Amino acid sequence: MENLHIQIIIRCCSYDELSPADRALANAAREATNNSYAPYSHFSVGAAALLENGITVSGSNQENAAYPSGLCAERTTLFYANSRYPHLAVEALAVAARNERGEFVARPIEPCGACRQVMLEVESRQGRPMRLLLCGADTVYEIGDAAQLLPLSFRADSMR
C-alpha cells in the first residue's frame, strides 16, 4: 500500500504585489460586488474573467428566495463569458467578496465545489488553463489552473 500525495501550488502575495494587469482584474472583481443581489446572505461576491482577446467580463452572485435557485458569482461570470464569447478562452478569473458590513473579506475567497466543477469544465472545453486570483482584502492567492482546486474530479473522460 502507498499513500498518494496531492500537491496544490498557491502563490500567495499581497494586493500591492499584483502586476498592473492582475490588479485591474482584481479591481473588476471588487467592482462587481456592487452588483451582487444578496438579500439573504448579505455576502456580496464579484468575479471578473479576462478573455484571450483582452476583454473583461464580470458578474456577481444572484440569490433567490428559493435558495438553491441562486447562483454564485463565479458561475454567473463563466456562464456569461461562454454564452457571449463561446470561442474565446478565459485566461484568468478573479474573485472578491464583501461581508455584511460591506468590507472586503480578509481571507481570499474559496470557491464552492459546484463552481470548482464548472471551472474545470471551462478549462477542458478551452483546452488551456484558467488562472485564478482569489482575492482577500490584502492577501491574494494565485493558482495557475482551476483543476488544482478539484483533485480526483469527475470529468467527461471519467465515463469512458
Residue list 87-126, contact with ligand THU (CB under 6 A): 109, 111-112, 115
Per-residue contact string for residues 119-158; x = within reach of ligand THU by CB under 6 A:
----------------------------------------
Binding flag, residue 45, ligand THU (CB under 6 A)? yes
Binding flag, residue 41, ligand THU (CB under 6 A)? yes
Dist. CA 11–CA 155, nearest whole Å: 26
Residue list 61-80, contact with ligand THU (CB under 6 A): 61, 63, 70, 72-74
Dist. CA 80–CA 76, nearest whole Å: 6
**Is there a catalytic annotation at residue 74?**
yes
Q: Which of 2, 52, 63, 74 is flagged as catalytic?
A: 74
Chain residues that interact with ligand THU, rule: CB under 6 A: 38, 41, 43, 45, 61, 63, 70, 72-74, 109, 111-112, 115
